[in-house]
DNA sequence: CCAACTTCCGGCAACGTTCCCGGTAACGAT
DNA sequence: ATCGTTACCGGGAACGTTGCCGGAAGTTGG
């Protein structure tokens, strides 16, 4: 309402809006004295250029839209921190949104981001998103897009993920080397790209060590509040000696379920998670985990996106980057304890 | 770029932009047949009204700006979920931003939110914010503002918080009733409003049970990565038999520090946290906590803000709402274990 | 048959900003 | 005295949309 505009300054100083505009952007065509007058007056009235007007005129906003399935997830919030760090010192603002694991909300949110003329989009797909046609459409309209974590092979855009295959391989290998043979895998929904990669890593490790893959030892769990418990029950019937959970939420769920059944960890069953929670060390027992470099994923993704926005032709093709994970061994996989 | 506008439709259909505009908003002045034509064409070309142009014209955006110190904090992300739930079905979009506990970034972010014509602001102050003059200025310019969690008494706006006093009182009382007398308090930075409330609750409980308040048993910890450890060291010299930590981060820090020193919990020292982490139950030992109704705080705050935006005069004064907390007793405060 | 009214649509301005195109002085050079 | 330069500034359009005003037909009533 009472925000002051370039017109107010022009009127007060008996100048035209063009002159004021140019004075504020320090154009050479403006008299030094006039500039001083304008700048001082603008300063005094706390003039702030209206980014909305700018966006309308220039069809850009210096804003990057970030869409994640859930903010209440340490992995994603850390990725966001990585994104913000890079965006911030390259002169972009970051707007954060959640899709709440819903395709419809993801679509609506992305549309909103686009309508508001975000210069680019960083997105991790919701688990219910099987159709990325709407993203391909946006891509064809030249909107810079970078995927991270939950990516899609149906889209020719840069994709930044942890090295999920290697992480899962390392986790499984660690379990095998510590003497386990019947390794159950609680996987995330199969629709999510990384589920497949992690499953592949798990299978590859089994194969490498000559352990047959058993479908009955693998179950996918969704995002419901009480989904993990029955799945653990099911898996227990297969008499596993280890659990490999494909996310932090699932690892916590497994831990809860196993404790509830008074199963000793790691004596009876070993447990390993794929996670980012910092408290893994403080759990009972301290949980072995595959840690994902969340911050770095965010940084790389933001960097790539801004390169794309600014037309830096450094990476021509739709290159996907895999960032190494780290296996942190703790008590939950100790041998013969 | 090639986003289609009302002009494109007008040109293609040999109509004026005004007619198209009115047809799309289903005005009574437009012939049914014309409407059909316009709507169908718009549908086919996937016309989306440009919110930027609307914002410029109407000086509003149907967007609520949310600023929190940190997203990677389960309390805040849950509050945000509460906010989104309400905002979403009252027709507002939510833009989320972080201040990273920095006054400067908070200020810059809020300015940006305001410049982008957000209809209202929901904010939890950074720990380095001692000066809320900039918010008062915005308030005087009629920007609807609602504070939550980290509030300020220097601002006459609705403030939604957990009942920190009662929560701290309950925590302290529980420790006293379980036989502890020398209760150390690891507090959050004194600049934060809720630090004082929690401290007051702690003191009130002590007083009520006739236990003298000792300054040496209270220490404030900041947000540095290794701040808690030396503070725990300091406090241990006072031979406490219990720790009351004023936030989840600090509770985890205390737990880590105590374990590192092989101090038995709760046998030697009891521990209670003020938190929202769901894994408190899985820690070693399971940690007694005061739980904050994060989701509800978000819901109430968003509701109040939207009421303010829409000029609902229901709550006239700058009313502050306190939402009850819940004491969840677990092993970390067990008696004589 | 004319006035009054209804129905339907176009023109124009405005929101805040920038940019292109002008234009007017003053001044030195020819 | 005239021309070309330089230095400085204003006018107007445009970005996409809505709302006000005005106006041309067609319709109704007397």
At B72-94, the pLDDT tens digits run 999 999 999 999 999 999 999 99
Residues B43, B140: one domain?
A: no
What average pLDDT does the structure give for chain B?
Answer: 94
Q: Which two tokens stand for residue B104?
A: 């400067």
Query: Would the pLDDT of B216 be above 70?
Result: yes
Residues B88, B156: one domain?
A: yes
Give me the pLDDT at residue A172, please.
98
Task: Note the CA–C1' distance, B31 to C7, in angstroms.
Answer: 8
Residue A264 in contact with partner chain B when CB distance is under 8 A = no
Strand C bases within 7 angstroms of protein beta carbons: 7-20
- Is B55 inside any structural domain? no
Query: Would the pLDDT of B264 be above 80?
Result: yes
Q: Closest nucleotide to residue B57 (Cα to C1')?
A: C15
Domain enclosing residue A237, as ranges: 164-292+326-333
Q: How far apart are CA A277 and CA A275, in angstroms?
A: 6
Do residues B139 and B157 lie in contact, with contact meaning Cβ atoms separated by under 8 Å?
yes
Residues A233-277: tens digit of each pLDDT: 999 999 999 999 999 889 999 999 999 999 999 999 999 999 878
State the CATH number of the domain containing residue B212.
Answer: 3.40.50.2300
DSSP A314: T
The reply to whether A53 Cβ lies less than 7 angstroms from strand C is yes
Give me the pLDDT at residue A316, please.
56
Q: Closest nucleotide to residue B6 (Cα to C1')?
A: D16
Residues B22, B114: one domain?
A: no
Give me the pLDDT at residue B321, please.
94
Q: What is the DSSP string of A13-63?
A: HT--HHHHHHHHTT-TTS-HHHHHHHHHHHHHTT----HHHHHHHHS--SE
Number of structural domains in chain B: 3
Helix (H) or strand (E) holding A66, with range, is strand A63-68
Residues A171, A273: one domain?
A: yes
Q: How far apart are CA A252 and CA B318, in angstroms?
A: 42
Q: Which two tokens stand for residue B41?
A: 């064409």
Give me the pLDDT at residue A318, please.
56
3-state percent helix, strand, coil for chain B, nearest multiple of 5: 45, 15, 40
pLDDT > 90 in chain A, percent = 90
Residues B122, B205: one domain?
A: no
pLDDT average, residue stretch B44-73 = 96
Q: Which residue from A100, A116, A256 is facing B51, i.e. has the nearest CB?
A: A116
Residues A139, A111: one domain?
A: yes
Query: Would the pLDDT of B248 be above 90?
Result: no
- Is B56 inside any structural domain? no
Q: Compare all CA atoms of chain B with the CA of A143 and give the residue at the minimum distance.
A: B1
Residues A254, A135: one domain?
A: no
Hey, CA dihedral for B234, B237, B240, B242, is it positive or negative?
Answer: positive
Residue A139 in contact with partner chain B when CB distance is under 8 A = no
Residue A267 in contact with partner chain B when CB distance is under 8 A = no
pLDDT > 70 in chain B, percent = 97
Q: Which residues contact B276 (CB under 8 A, 6 or more apart)?
A: B74, B75, B78, B248, B291, B292, B294
Residues A198, A140: one domain?
A: no
Q: Which residues contact A296 (CB under 8 A, 6 or more apart)?
A: A82, A323
- Strand C contact residues in chain B (54-113), C-beta within 7 Å: 56-57, 59
Give me the pLDDT at residue A314, please.
62
Q: Compare all CA atoms of chain B with the CA of A108 and give the residue at the minimum distance.
A: B93
pLDDT average, residue stretch B219-248 = 93
Query: Which A-chain residues 234-263 have CB contacts (< 8 A) with chain B?
Result: 252, 255-256, 259
Q: Which residue from A77, A141, A252 is facing B77, i.e. has the nearest CB?
A: A77
SS3 B220: strand
Residues B306-328: tens digit of each pLDDT: 999 998 766 555 588 999 999 99
- Is A56 inside any structural domain? no
Query: Which A-chain residues 67-106 have CB contacts (< 8 A) with chain B?
Result: 71-74, 77-78, 80-81, 84, 93-98, 100
Hey, CA dihedral for A205, A209, A213, A216, is it positive or negative?
Answer: negative
The candidate with the shortest Cα–Cα distance to B56, out of A243, A299, A53, A120, is: A53
Q: Classify the phi-psi angles of A291: left when phi > 0, otherwise alpha if psi is within -120 to 50, otherwise beta.
A: beta
Residues B109, B182: one domain?
A: no
Cis peptide before B285 (omega within 30 of 0): yes
Do residues A220 and A195 lie in contact, with contact meaning Cβ atoms separated by under 8 Å?
yes
Give me the pLDDT at residue A337, please.
47
Give me the pLDDT at residue B100, please.
97
- Is A170 inside any structural domain? yes
Query: Which A-chain residues 282-301 have CB contacts (< 8 A) with chain B?
Result: 282-286
Which residues of chain A are within 8 Å of residue B117 when distances are taken between CB atoms? 52
- Is B57 inside any structural domain? no
Task: Note the CA–C1' distance, A29 to D11, in angstroms.
Answer: 17
Task: Note the CA–C1' distance, A30 to D2, in angstroms.
Answer: 28
In terms of DSSP bridges, do strands B270-275 and A320-323 run parallel, antiparallel, or are they unpaired? Answer: unpaired
Residues A111, A19: one domain?
A: no
Query: Would the pLDDT of B276 be above 90?
Result: no
- Is B1 inside any structural domain? no
Q: Which residue from B53, B115, B281 is facing A56, i.e. has the nearest CB?
A: B53
CA A146-A317-B2 angle, 5° bins: 60
Residues A190, A250: one domain?
A: yes
Beta-bridge mates of residue B270: B242
Spell B241-257 as b/e; 16+ CB within 10 A means b: bbbbbbbbbbbbbbbbb
Residues B100-159: tens digit of each pLDDT: 999 999 999 999 999 999 999 999 999 999 999 999 999 999 999 999 999 999 999 999
Q: How far is B311 from chain A (nearest CA, A)?
A: 16
- Is A55 inside any structural domain? no
Give me the pLDDT at residue B318, please.
56
Query: Would the pLDDT of A336 be above 70?
Result: no
- Is A119 inside any structural domain? yes
Residues A26, A87: one domain?
A: no
Query: Would the pLDDT of A1 be above 60?
Result: no
């Amino acid at each position: 309402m009472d925000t002051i505009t370039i017109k107010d300054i022009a009127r007060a100083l008996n100048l035209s809006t063009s002159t004021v505009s140019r004075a504020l952007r320090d154009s050479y065509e403006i008299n030094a004295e006039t500039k001083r007058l304008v700048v001082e007056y603008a300063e005094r009235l706390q003039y702030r250029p209206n980014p909305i007007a700018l966006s309308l005129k220039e069809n850009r906003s210096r804003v990057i839209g970030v869409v994640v399935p859930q903010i209440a997830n340490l992995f994603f919030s850390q990725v966001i921190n990585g994104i913000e760090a890079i965006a911030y010192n390259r002169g972009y603002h970051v707007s954060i949104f959640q899709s709440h694991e819903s395709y419809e909300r993801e679509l609506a949110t992305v549309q909103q981001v686009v309508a508001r003329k975000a210069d680019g989009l960083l997105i991790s797909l919701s688990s219910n998103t099987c159709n990325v046609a709407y993203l391909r459409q946006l891509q064809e309209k030249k909107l810079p897009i970078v995927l991270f974590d939950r990516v899609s092979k149906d889209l020719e855009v840069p994709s930044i993920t942890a090295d999920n295959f290697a992480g899962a391989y390392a986790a499984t290998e660690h379990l095998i080397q510590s003497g386990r043979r019947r390794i159950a895998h609680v996987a995330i929904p199969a629709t999510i790209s990384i589920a497949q990669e992690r499953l592949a890593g798990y299978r590859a490790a089994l194969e490498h060590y000559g352990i047959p893959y058993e479908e009955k030892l693998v179950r996918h769990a969704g995002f419901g509040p009480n989904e993990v418990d029955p799945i653990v029950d099911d898996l227990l019937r297969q008499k596993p000696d280890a659990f490999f959970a494909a996310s932090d939420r699932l690892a916590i769920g497994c831990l809860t379920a196993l404790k509830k059944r008074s199963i000793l960890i790691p004596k009876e069953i070993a447990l390993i998670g794929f996670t980012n929670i910092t408290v893994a060390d403080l759990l009972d027992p301290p949980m072995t985990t595959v840690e994902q470099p969340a911050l770095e994923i965010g940084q790389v993704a933001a960097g790539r996106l801004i390169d794309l926005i600014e037309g830096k032709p450094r990476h021509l093709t739709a290159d996907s980057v895999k960032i190494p994970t780290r296996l942190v061994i703790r008590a939950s996989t100790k041998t013969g304890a």
